[in-house]
A and B are shown apart, each in its own frame.
Chain A
């Protein structure tokens, strides 16, 4: 099972919106709505941001949202803030009854 493909880096200015893409296959993202997104600050533990493509756990800012089209999932960060600077990972359940993570995206706030 190959890792889901994410851009290595995405940047934006404070207040802007950015999109982090996550490209999978028909064996994972294309078949299931079990896509989740995680935020990881340097030296910290991953934190759940989005589950089941579009749902936000309680306590997660509404500036974070998710979507999916075909084999590609997306994380949208609106109103970019300096504290959003972190690594972001997507993950999906697969037809092999396993899970696969993305290659990770470093978000930089200019």
Chain B
């Protein structure tokens, strides 16, 4: 079964940092691109960042310079290092797989990040 499981969310103060993880199973992790997509409660989806099989990284303007996406193919894991967090970064963060064809399937169950003082 193809599965993505996010972890690492929680409550953090503005200006703080958090590292999200996404553990993959049931497929050849190294053969796929991956993305992080976030969704504030009650709000639309927002693409955050993407990472190709060759290591190319892409970021939304709203997070560029603050967030870093990375992967560890040996551990079948995707990461998102989030620094200088803002209240506006509060959302459920999903990881999603992409076979290099620019769509997202499947998605993990999400992890909630709350930025608040």
Contact = CB atoms under 8 A, between A and B. Distances in A.
Q: Do they bind each other?
A: yes
B102 A99 contact: yes
User: Could you tell me the dominant secondary structure of chain B's interface residues?
Assistant: loop
Contacts, number: 66
Contacts of A3: 44, 46
Interface in B2-60: 35, 37, 44-47, 50, 58-60
B47 A98 contact: yes
Interface of A: 1, 3, 32, 34, 36, 38, 40, 45-48, 51-52, 57, 89, 91, 93, 97-104
Most chain-A CB neighbours within 10 Å: which of B46, B58, B60, B102?
A: B102
Contact of B105 (A48, A101, A102): A48
A52 B60 contact: no
Contact of A101 (B47, B50, B101, B108): B47
B105 A57 contact: yes
B56 to A, nearest CB: 9
B109 interface: yes
B107 to A, nearest CB: 5
A62 B101 CA distance: 21
A98 B102 contact: no
A20 B51 CA distance: 30
A46 B45 contact: yes
Contact of B45 (A1, A48, A98, A101): A101
Contacts of A97: 58
A34 B107 contact: no
Contacts of A103: 44
B6 to A, nearest CB: 10
Contacts of B35: 99
